[in-house]
Amino acid sequence: MIRSSKTWHAVAVAAAAGLVLSACGTTDTDGGGGDASGEDCNFKIGAMGALSGANASIVLPSVDGAELALEQWDNDECEVTLERFDTEGDPAKATPVATQIAGDESFIGVIGGAFSGETRATKTIYQDGGVPMISQSATATDLTQDEPVEVFHRLVPYDDYQGAAIAKYLTDEVGASKVFVVDNSEAYGEPLADRVEETLGKAMVQRDKTQVGQTDFAPTISKMESANPDAIFYGGYIAEAAPLLKQIRDAGIDAPFVGGDGLYGADFGNAVGAAGEGAVVMCPCAPIEEDSTFAADFEEQFGSAPGAYAAEGYDAMTVFLAALDDGARTREEVLEFINGYEGDGLSKEIAFDDAGDVPAENVSYWAYKNEGGTLVPEVEVKPEG
């Protein structure tokens, strides 16, 4: 079911093909904005997330993808700039950013938050300001299922689906019957691990927790040695997963290692080194179609292959630009357009249900295996239930 009774049929790729207008990578919000209440089409779109730090590789490609969509946009009536805000994924740093964006009427939307914690901390600020949100990667279930806000939308399914897909991969593809489950005790990793545990049932042999910033995992390693698992799942981010995995292998534990999409970054292979060979990362991001020019365009623009959520960032920007193409000139009009949007995107067929989520029929995950430092698509996994 689409969120609005007014259905807009837009083709995402068509809306994003063509001329270069303007894009910028600054966080300067002084001047340059149009009057969001008038007819002028001179606006800003914010991108909020960890643009620096150990987990930046999970976010930067998506923001670059959004910039590429803006560069390729064909519209001679509007001027739009992309404003980047580095929150480092920290909810405390994201809150003033959201307040700044919501208070500046030249912003007609925000791509993000990229992480669940910062999204949880800011979504009511954006709601109060009427600022439409399209997240490329925030997957925590509660963002839409417990305390939804009208302005929030996302291009990735929530973690109840991901946890079920991971558990299915562990049992069906790995053949595991004794899974050791670990999480990072935070807004993303803990509920994801909860869902993995719930779905695994008796196939989970033990559960443990780590902390953000932790580097010595000796207590967890000791528990793993005693449990003798035939697979390990970690819910968290690269910063802690890399030393954890290295210490697991140093202890002689060779059980297959599987992580959630919080590990899906271009630097995962470098971070884990030889210890990460064969590790698997589950992600709702499908491989880019071979006949698409997106990968080549991205590499030409930014000098590297598209990484984590690059396609979702491109799609998020495309939806906002399609709203302007359709004549939206206020936050309210942009929100109405997004609520009823349907179109073919790079990442998937795009639509939003009543909660702002990916419709159930569009939910799919891919297991990516680390081979020689590169995450290579292995198998598609459809969660059950």
CA–CA separation, 359 vs 7, rounded Å? 15
> Judging by DSSP bridges, how do beta strands 107-111 and 133-135 pair with one another?
parallel
Q: Model confidence at 13, in pLDDT bands (50, 70, 90)?
A: very low
Helix (H, G, I), strand (E, B) or coil at 148: coil
Question: What is the per-residue pLDDT for 159?
Answer: 87
Q: Model confidence at 11, in pLDDT bands (50, 70, 90)?
A: very low
Average pLDDT of the chain, as a whole number: 89
270 and 276 Cβ atoms separated by less than 8 Å: no
Q: What is the mean pLDDT of residues 188-198?
A: 94
Question: What is the per-residue pLDDT for 288?
Answer: 81
CA–CA separation, 143 vs 117, rounded Å? 9
- What residues does 284 pair with on adjacent strands? none
CA–CA separation, 44 vs 80, rounded Å? 5
200 and 168 Cβ atoms separated by less than 8 Å: no
Q: What is the tens place of the pLDDT at every residue in 363-373? A: 989 999 999 99
The answer to whether the bond into 235 is cis (omega within 30° of 0) is no
Tokens of 232: 């390990």
> Judging by DSSP bridges, how do beta strands 374-381 and 365-371 pair with one another?
antiparallel
Q: What is the mean pLDDT of residues 47-58?
A: 92
Counting residues of the chain whose pLDDT is more than 90, the rounded percentage is: 79
DSSP per-residue string spanning 323-374: HHHTT--SHHHHHHHHHTEEEE-SSSEEE--TTSPPPGGG--EEEEEEETTE
Question: What is the per-residue pLDDT for 292?
Answer: 85
Burial class (CB in 10 A: 0-12, 13-18, 19+), 4: middle
Q: What is the mean pLDDT of residues 3-32?
A: 36
Q: State the CB neighbour count (10 A cutoff) for residue 162.
A: 26
Question: What is the per-residue pLDDT for 308?
Answer: 86
Q: What is the tens place of the pLDDT at every residue in 343-364? A: 999 999 999 999 999 999 889 8
Question: What is the per-residue pLDDT for 226?
Answer: 98
Q: What is the mean pLDDT of residues 95-124?
A: 97
Q: Model confidence at 266, in pLDDT bands (50, 70, 90)?
A: confident
Q: Is the pLDDT of residue 114 over 50?
A: yes
Q: What is the mean pLDDT of residues 27-42?
A: 51
Q: What is the mean pLDDT of residues 22-30?
A: 36
CA–CA separation, 361 vs 218, rounded Å? 42
99 and 123 Cβ atoms separated by less than 8 Å: no
Nearest to 258 by CA among 312, 311, 202, 203: 203
Q: Is the pLDDT of residue 35 over 50?
A: no
Tokens of 295: 């990968």
192 and 159 Cβ atoms separated by less than 8 Å: yes
Q: Model confidence at 385, in pLDDT bands (50, 70, 90)?
A: low
Residue where the block lists tokens 């003798």: 228
Question: What is the per-residue pLDDT for 126?
Answer: 98
Q: Which of 1-10, 52-61, 132-141, 299-308 has the lowest mean pLDDT?
A: 1-10
Give the sign of the dihedral formed by CA 81, CA 86, CA 92, CA 96. negative
Q: What is the mean pLDDT of residues 331-349?
A: 96
Question: What is the per-residue pLDDT for 291?
Answer: 75
Q: What is the tens place of the pLDDT at every residue in 207-229? A: 999 999 999 999 999 999 999 99
